[in-house]
Amino acid sequence: MIISIFLFSIFTFRFDLVKGDDVRKFPDYFKFGVSTAAHQIEGAWNVSDKGENIWDHLTHTKPSAIADGSNADVACDSYHLYKRDADMLVELGVDFYRFSISWSRLLPNGFSNKVSQDGLRYYNNLIDELLSRNITPFATLYHWDLPQKLQDLGGWTNPIIVNYFEDYARVAFESFGNRVKNWITINEIPQICTNGYAKDIYAPQVMSSGIGDYLCGHNALLSHARVWHLYNDTFRPTQKGRIGITLYSHWAEPESNSVEDKAISERGMQFLLGWQAHPIFSSEGDYPKVLKEAVYNRSMEQGYSHSRLPVFTLEEIKYLKGASDFLGLNHYTSVVFRNDNKTEWMSQFPNPSKERDLGYDSYFHANWPPTISAWFAVNPPGLKHLLNWIKNEYTNPEVIITENGYLTRGGLIDVDRINYINQNLQSVLEAILDDHCNVTAYSLWSLMDNYEWNDGYRFCFGLYEVDFKSENRTRRPRMSAYVYKEILRTRMINPYYLPSFSDFQYETYKSSASILQCHMKIFSISVIFLLMMHFLF
Ligand code: PNW
């Protein structure tokens, strides 16, 4: 028995946590945060003079676009409950809070001739509340909630958006820049442009596949650059903050180690991330060559008179290059691309489309645990590969992971989320300590359950559960909240950490049955292991 206990402890001891005498810790400069977005949490959709945005419009005119027919009219009601949100940030011990500003709350018509006093008051209160709790505000200007009045003019497909986005950003810098020193211009070009302007998934559901998505991306990149230059030239000298863009990328895992499969993965990465990152972060600027060639060639085959991918002028190429203080990265999952022209996969995508331009089928590796969502399977090493790809492709820019997280159907015992966080942070730690990737911060999605866009309230991403049926939108910490808190406190990952009984106030939880199940599982696995060892030796 003693031998088996000894062996058990040897087997379970994590050598990878310790290297030499040093515990594998996040460096001192590394910051931790949590993320949310205005439309997903604020509610108060028409309070005071707030203007309608494209998600208000879509959910009110076409509820069938949302899995559960819901909207974000109240959501987490953070408009009223932001002090409770600040309490939670303190409970977790985060360094910063990534939230977004609602364009149509600040500028009800989308234009800067009218600034909402109520919008100003709300964000001033939120920012002051955060600062009074010693939490750094990290503000995103655009997280998908375009004022409907601008969509009426074509939204992100109209090049005039660059001017209006600059006007909005100027008001935000003038109003909040004395206290907000960390800014993100735009969150996730692929989701805005592909889901919103190529498909009927996200608002505004403009189905202009293979044209509208590229045009949207083009104008979004130019808008970002305009606002970066505005901040850099006009506000940075006095406000002394920093500003970047948040991009989304899967990791494109090669199907095998063959040269051919690696080339497929590389081309896939250029279509996924290169499309958004190359114009800003590469030394030569502009879109990746493979993307330009592929879209041009297909466009010609399809009888267009020029490429469906818009062309940057030489002046624009220069203007975009280097126009970001850091690369904000959102990442959730990996994907495998496969050069499979024979199957029917292409028929599921319209012609033209970005998928057909890429020309690869995609799938999730059989070893990656699936999640409850069709777009998401779990492959934590993918994050490390992605960080290394960025390091090598763009000469190691500063990367801030602005989103990463896991979804469940609810419940307070979220062991799968805990594993996801531990394993993804392990991947980040290895990228920093072993590969010298310049990652300086990590922000978990999300502080609490919120309005998950076209999935409504059926998927939960929160460290805190939100009771959307209760009047006061009661928030309660999940088990993962305690685990994240412990990681932040110790600055290391202990995959065996479970919150103590007193931390995790079991008696207050309805789901005590599942806690018991969880403990029983751990207990029974240990007993079986010990017995096996006992009989073997
Ligand atoms: C991000 N995908 O969206 C957004 O920034 C958040 O607002 C959102 O709540 C969160 O991730 C979780 O969904 C994504 O299909 C949506 O790969 C879809 C994908 C990636 C990110």
Q: Is 461 in the pocket of ligand 1 (CB under 6 A)?
A: yes
452 is an active site residue: no
* Distance from Cα 101 to the centre of ligand 1, integer Å: 17
Residue of minimum CA distance from atom 3 in ligand 1 = 191
Cα 312 from chain centre: 27
Determine the pLDDT at residue 527: 81
CA angle 187, 188, 193 (to 5 degrees): 120
**Which residues does the chain have with pLDDT short of 50?**
10-12, 14, 16, 18, 20-21, 507, 510-513
In angstroms, rounded to a whole number, what is the distance separating the alpha carbons of residues 287 and 513? 53
Instruction: Write down the pTM of the prediction.
Output: 0.92
88: CB partners within 8 A, 6+ apart: 447, 448, 464, 475, 477, 481
Q: Which atom of ligand 1 is nearest to the CA of 144?
A: 7
Peptide bond connecting 477 to the previous residue in cis, omega within 30 degrees of 0: no
Among candidate residues 188, 316, 355, 486, the one labeled active-site is 188
Q: Would you state the structure tokens that stand for residue 30, as one six-digit string?
A: 């590394």
Distances from the Cα of 410 to the Cαs of 43, 45, 469, 518, in angstroms?
Answer: 21, 25, 13, 15
Phi-psi region of 253 (alpha: psi -120 to 50; beta: other; left: phi over 0): beta
* Collapsed DSSP state (helix, strand, coil) of residue 100: strand
Determine the pLDDT at residue 510: 46
**Cα Rg for the chain, rounded, in angstroms?**
24
Closest by Cα among 444, 492, 495 to 26: 492
Q: Would you state the structure tokens that stand for residue 26, as one six-digit string?
A: 């996040």
Determine the pLDDT at residue 498: 87
Could you tell me if 356 and 299 are in contact, meaning their C-beta atoms sit under 8 angstroms apart? no
Domain residue ranges of the chain, discontinuous segments joined by +:
1-18+496-537, 19-495
Phi, psi of 253 (to 5 degrees): -75, 125
From 192, 273, 403, give the residue whose CB has the most ligand 1 atoms within 8 Å, as the site to mutate.
Answer: 403
Report the DSSP pairing between strands 361-363 and 334-338: antiparallel
Residue of minimum CA distance from atom 13 in ligand 1 = 452
* Distance from Cα 270 to the centre of ligand 1, integer Å: 20
Among candidate residues 403, 452, 465, 486, the one labeled active-site is 403
Closest by Cα among 136, 62, 67 to 96: 136
Q: Would you state the structure tokens that stand for residue 230, as one six-digit string?
A: 């505005």
Q: Is 449 in the pocket of ligand 1 (CB under 6 A)?
A: no
In angstroms, rounded to a whole number, what is the distance separating the alpha carbons of residues 248 and 376? 13
Could you tell me if 462 and 450 are in contact, meaning their C-beta atoms sit under 8 angstroms apart? yes
507 is an active site residue: no
Residue of minimum CA distance from atom 12 in ligand 1 = 452
Q: Which atom of ligand 1 is nearest to the CA of 250?
A: 17
In angstroms, rounded to a whole number, what is the distance separating the alpha carbons of residues 55 and 144? 8
265: CB partners within 8 A, 6+ apart: 252, 253, 254, 255, 337
From 141, 332, 402, 444, give the residue whose CB has the most ligand 1 atoms within 8 Å, as the site to mutate.
Answer: 332
Determine the pLDDT at residue 22: 57
Determine the pLDDT at residue 517: 57
Residue of minimum CA distance from atom 18 in ligand 1 = 191
Per CATH, the number for 19-495 is 3.20.20.80
Residue of minimum CA distance from atom 16 in ligand 1 = 191
516: CB partners within 8 A, 6+ apart: none
Q: Is 191 in the pocket of ligand 1 (CB under 6 A)?
A: yes
Report the DSSP pairing between strands 31-35 and 22-23: unpaired
Q: Which atom of ligand 1 is nearest to the CA of 375?
A: 15
User: Side chain identity at 74, as an amino acid letter?
Assistant: V
Q: Is 445 in the pocket of ligand 1 (CB under 6 A)?
A: yes
Q: Is 55 in the pocket of ligand 1 (CB under 6 A)?
A: no
Residue of minimum CA distance from atom 17 in ligand 1 = 375
What confidence tens digit (pLDDT) does each residue in 332-351 have?
A: 999 999 998 766 888 999 99
Q: Which residues pair with 19 in a beta bridge?
A: 22
* Distance from Cα 144 to the centre of ligand 1, integer Å: 11
In angstroms, rounded to a whole number, what is the distance separating the alpha carbons of residues 15 and 392? 28
* Distance from Cα 250 to the centre of ligand 1, integer Å: 11
